Amino acid sequence: MYGRYTQELGVYAKEEAARLRESGQRRSVSRTLDLLEYNKGRCAKCRRSGYPYVLEAPPQDFISVCTVRCQKFLISRVGEDWIFLILLGLLMALVSWVMDFCIAICLQAQKWMYGGLDSNVFLQYLAWVTYPVVLITFSAGFTQILAPQAVGSGIPEMKTILRGVVLKEYLTFKTFVAKVIGLTCALGSGMPLGKEGPFVHIASLCAALLSKFMSLFGGIYENESRNIEMLAAACAVGVGCCFAAPIGGVLFSIEVTSTFFAVRNYWRGFFAATFSAFIFRVLAVWNRDEETITALFKTSFRLDFPFDLQELPAFAVIGIANGFGGALFVYLNRLIVQFMRKQKAINRFLMKKRLLYPALVTLLISTLTFPPGFGQFMAGKLTQKESLVTLLDNRTWAKQGIAEEFDYIGHSEAWKHPQVNVFVTLVLFIVMKFWMSALATTIPVPCGAFMPVFVIGAAFGRLVGESMAAWFPDGIHTDGTIYPIVPGGYAVVGAAALSGAVTHTVSTAVIVFELTGQISHILPVMIAVILANAVAQSLQPSLYDSIIRIKKLPYLPELGWGHHEKYNIRVEDIMVRDVRYITLNCSYRDLHNVLLTGHLKTLALVESTESMILLGSIERAQLQALLSLQLGRHRRLEYIRERALEEKKRLSVVSNVSSENISQRASQEVRFQISTEDSSLSPSRPVPQKPLKPALKRPSVVERATEIPTGPHDHSGIALKNLFCASPDTEALEEDVDVEDDMTIREITEWEEKQLDEQVNFNNCKIDPAPFQLVERTSLHKTHTIFSLLGLDHAFVTSIGRLIGVVSLKELRKAIEGSVTVKGAKVRPPLASFRDSGTSSSENEATELHKLWDRHKSMPLPREPTPSESDEKSL
């Protein structure tokens, strides 16, 4: 069962995003440093390391110097994209080949067991059933224990990740291991599961791990946008080396994972996918499986007359029927997941015995395919690969016409039943496999749905083709030569159409050509795929989007086919007008109130309530940290210390100079706050217990003191300048005055009330200085484009600098789903999930934090720096 996108993940994603942004900002502060390092690391490498060595080194060290230099050179080249891509391709080809090898062995073992026990049907049944049950259960258990993120296809997650969302644990080594082993076992069981989706995930995992590994050598691998580009290429590699279909792989991965595609990234995908597919096939040649590099499911249809023009309506029928079929598959799949979630009784039981569901499903499916049983009517003994090969065969099975003398050889004999027509076998195969695949893909193991769907489509195409061959035994063509109908061609068309309908892609056509090694049926395939897409897209979301909705992953839905409304809805129609904001000169009390009432992750910073000029946006966590800092124990201690100091001064009558300083400082307090404590602490981190250095010694404070307001206009100007000039000097403070916290609660409350009335000092607050802005008149179409292009979470709506509203992903999603009604896709909040117990601990944690926050709410003022997540939980 699909794991839901639980809050745990959401919170993690937010944290991670915050962390990244923070580190980004930290990086930017030390930018010049970085640049220097970069130069040192790349360009000046030889000069810096090589020459001095040569000059100083004795002759016998010359070789080692050369070695060092070569090494440095190699390391500097490691940063090149193509080296990374070659490594990625090589790695994935090896992984793919080894996995294929293991899967083949697993499947052979089952056949061998089944064949060896042919004396006793019951034993045979036991062997036939136990083997997949054990494998699937192991796979489910293994994945569950090691990395539950490895469950399922992985394409929906990759789509979300490529949109810029950080998903927890989705690109770790643990997940890689779980996915590879889990997938091998799952596919080795012979269930109708696919390997394409997981391969996309595995390739992305490979890329992420490789990137991490390579960053040991050079710093370029730490760049985020580069990593996203590499992940996109990795998706192409995944499909490419799974089917040995580089072009189709690139296109499929683009269609499935991207909304906007950077053409400059195109070559990366092609390069890596081609290399990977090449190595993958070369391994097969070296292993003596093949004589030379050929297609995976090579067909041999005739080239001179692949199909007649009058057969095109039949192809179109396949396309339309498969369109409906694809939509039905997606619907069925979602229905099963939702049904299992809704049934509380079943759910509770299954939650306890988490491996029961996979075992039961496997038992059911393998029982039905048991060859001496019902399996004989649906070619049950064929593996997925074998059935595909037989379906794409260029001979005609139907017993009429010229195909009569053909007797079923090899695997094809599985389709032949002494009592039953081949048409019945095909229909049974299609119907049974259809629901079996929809059911099997809900098992919580790493698995995809592409291959099963592909096979079902091929079977449907074959059915139509055989019918056509039976109807027109001499072919349709009337001029002279007899060109019999090729049912295998229909199978190709059907496979492409159904898989295209389920995934909402056109590039399955290309994958089919590359898989079969023949492009002669290009027009029928294209027509069928486009028709299937048209039908399926108007009925249901794609399988991946459906899973995204089920899992509640944060993703923006697509704009549908040709809905004009999207050009006429404008931002002003969907935006939230009641924006939470803070002003530049607000007090801590305002901040406190805003934080208590609002729920948005980021808050707008405006110049003043009257002008509403948008200056930037600040994260809640930042504000929370500011507030905590202002009211924190640290500051209170300082207050006590100060009080003690003053006391001391009053007692011992100190010199004029220091008292002057203090008065100067006091005058600053109104405008600038006391910047010592603030600058020594980076907000959102727990308050470090560092000793304090008196503000008097800090030159920056004195400098700032000279900037005294000079005119009526300077009001905002100076305040802003303070924001800009905030230099992040975080010197370690030296002196320490030990004081005791001897204030009573009443005193504390009084002190806090006083603190709250002070003006907020944004000096060390991380402000996003240019949040994305839209205009009221921006159309929904354009807004969608911008949101998906830039991976935005929210955007402020401004009008000549004035903040008038805000649009977040939520509003946009609502607006799109309002205009583009996707029928039957209303995913109600699932009541339970199989992984609920797994996530309960962190949810408890969340509740804990929530309570903490509620406590803060009931008490007038938060006192301690609360963890930054707490507010995000209080959604």
Instruction: Find the binding residues for a copy of itself in span 795-854 (CB under 8 A).
Output: 798-802
Burial environment of residue 32 by CB neighbours within 10 A (0 to 12, 13 to 18, 19 or more): exposed
Q: How far is the CB of 448 from a copy of itself (least distance, A)?
A: 20
* 217 binds a copy of itself, rule: CB under 8 A: no
Stretch that binds a copy of itself, among 135-143, 378-386, 425-433, 713-721 (CB under 8 A): 713-721
Q: How far is the CB of 743 from a copy of itself (least distance, A)?
A: 37
Stretch that binds a copy of itself, among 32-40, 334-342, 436-444, 548-556 (CB under 8 A): 32-40
Residues 718-737 that bind a copy of itself (CB under 8 A): 720, 723-724
Which residue, 336 or 579, is less far from a copy of itself as judged by CB? 579
Which residue, 264 or 650, is less far from a copy of itself as judged by CB? 264
Residues 80-99 that bind a copy of itself (CB under 8 A): 80-82
Stretch that binds a copy of itself, among 179-187, 218-226, 367-375, 418-426 (CB under 8 A): 218-226
CA distance 435 to 771: 48
Residues 234-253 that bind a copy of itself (CB under 8 A): 246-247, 251
Q: Which residues contact 383 (CB under 8 A, 6 or more apart)?
A: 107, 190
Q: How far is the CB of 574 from a copy of itself (least distance, A)?
A: 14
CA distance 171 to 150: 10
φ/ψ (deg, to 5) at 697? -80, -5
Q: Which residues contact 103 (CB under 8 A, 6 or more apart)?
A: 184, 187, 188
Stretch that binds a copy of itself, among 193-201, 221-229, 425-433, 450-458 (CB under 8 A): 221-229
* 160 binds a copy of itself, rule: CB under 8 A: no
Stretch that binds a copy of itself, among 97-105, 194-202, 765-773, 809-817 (CB under 8 A): 765-773
* 514 binds a copy of itself, rule: CB under 8 A: yes
CA distance 789 to 163: 8
Q: Considering only CA atoms, which of 678, 854, 860 is closest in space to residue 753? A: 860
Burial environment of residue 437 by CB neighbours within 10 A (0 to 12, 13 to 18, 19 or more): buried
Q: How far is the CB of 691 from a copy of itself (least distance, A)?
A: 32
* 373 binds a copy of itself, rule: CB under 8 A: no
* 259 binds a copy of itself, rule: CB under 8 A: yes
Which residue, 34 or 413, is less far from a copy of itself as judged by CB? 34
Q: How far is the CB of 606 from a copy of itself (least distance, A)?
A: 9
* 227 binds a copy of itself, rule: CB under 8 A: no
Q: How far is the CB of 576 from a copy of itself (least distance, A)?
A: 17
* 122 binds a copy of itself, rule: CB under 8 A: no
Q: Considering only CA atoms, which of 686, 682, 597 is closest in space to residue 871? A: 597
CA distance 528 to 535: 11
Q: Token digits for 850?
A: 């929530």
* 538 binds a copy of itself, rule: CB under 8 A: no
Q: How far is the CB of 706 from a copy of itself (least distance, A)?
A: 17
Which residue, 638 or 817, is less far from a copy of itself as judged by CB? 817
794-799 and 767-768 beta bridge pairing: unpaired
* 313 binds a copy of itself, rule: CB under 8 A: no
* 304 binds a copy of itself, rule: CB under 8 A: yes
Which residue, 558 or 843, is less far from a copy of itself as judged by CB? 558
| Of the residues 16, 34, 386, 590, which one makes contact with a copy of itself according to CB under 8 A | 34
Provide the 10 A C-beta neighbour count for residue 724: 8
* 394 binds a copy of itself, rule: CB under 8 A: no
> Is 18:621 a contact under the CB 8 Å cutoff?
yes
| Of the residues 17, 68, 134, 282, which one makes contact with a copy of itself according to CB under 8 A | 282
Stretch that binds a copy of itself, among 305-313, 438-446, 586-594, 731-739 (CB under 8 A): 305-313
Q: How far is the CB of 110 from a copy of itself (least distance, A)?
A: 31
Which residue, 477 or 665, is less far from a copy of itself as judged by CB? 477
CA distance 500 to 494: 10
Q: How far is the CB of 268 from a copy of itself (least distance, A)?
A: 9
* 708 binds a copy of itself, rule: CB under 8 A: no
Residues 459-498 that bind a copy of itself (CB under 8 A): 477, 479
Q: How far is the CB of 96 from a copy of itself (least distance, A)?
A: 16
* 559 binds a copy of itself, rule: CB under 8 A: yes
Burial 171-192 (b: 16+ CB within 10 A, else e): bbeebbbbbbbbbbbbbbbbbb
Q: Considering only CA atoms, which of 299, 291, 298, 286 is closest in space to residue 93? A: 286
Which position has the token pair 């048409």?
A: 423
> Is 755:631 a contact under the CB 8 Å cutoff?
yes
Query: In DSSP terms, which residues pair with 587 in a beta bridge?
Result: 759
φ/ψ (deg, to 5) at 774? -120, 170
* 216 binds a copy of itself, rule: CB under 8 A: no
Written in H, E and C, the secondary structure of 544-573 is HHHHHHHHCCCCCCCCCCCCCHHHHCEHHH
Q: Considering only CA atoms, which of 868, 840, 874, 842 is closest in space to residue 855? A: 874
Query: In DSSP terms, which residues pair with 614 in a beta bridge?
Result: 606
* 683 binds a copy of itself, rule: CB under 8 A: no
Q: Which residues contact 832 (CB under 8 A, 6 or more apart)?
A: 341, 344, 347, 348, 351
| Of the residues 172, 367, 467, 716, which one makes contact with a copy of itself according to CB under 8 A | 716
Stretch that binds a copy of itself, among 127-135, 362-370, 630-638, 768-776 (CB under 8 A): 768-776
Q: Considering only CA atoms, which of 460, 364, 725, 247 is closest in space to residue 356? A: 364
Stretch that binds a copy of itself, among 203-211, 561-569, 636-644, 748-756 (CB under 8 A): 561-569
* 260 binds a copy of itself, rule: CB under 8 A: yes
Q: How far is the CB of 16 from a copy of itself (least distance, A)?
A: 20
| Of the residues 225, 419, 655, 689, which one makes contact with a copy of itself according to CB under 8 A | 225
φ/ψ (deg, to 5) at 582? -125, 150
CA distance 752 to 284: 74
| Of the residues 5, 278, 297, 370, which one makes contact with a copy of itself according to CB under 8 A | 278
Which residue, 31 or 352, is less far from a copy of itself as judged by CB? 31
Which residue, 269 or 865, is less far from a copy of itself as judged by CB? 269
* 38 binds a copy of itself, rule: CB under 8 A: yes
CA distance 188 to 98: 13
Residues 39-58 that bind a copy of itself (CB under 8 A): 42
Which residue, 31 or 650, is less far from a copy of itself as judged by CB? 31
* 258 binds a copy of itself, rule: CB under 8 A: yes
Stretch that binds a copy of itself, among 328-336, 433-441, 595-603, 775-783 (CB under 8 A): 775-783
Q: How many residues does the chain have?
A: 875
**What is the size of the binding site for a copy of itself (CB under 8 A)?**
114
* 303 binds a copy of itself, rule: CB under 8 A: yes
* 615 binds a copy of itself, rule: CB under 8 A: yes
> Is 241:199 a contact under the CB 8 Å cutoff?
yes
CA distance 207 to 235: 9
Residues 11-30 that bind a copy of itself (CB under 8 A): 28
Going edge to edge, which strands form the sheet with 794-799? 773-774, 794-799, 802-808
Provide the 10 A C-beta neighbour count for residue 466: 24
Q: Which residues contact 499 (CB under 8 A, 6 or more apart)?
A: 450, 453, 454, 457, 505, 508, 511
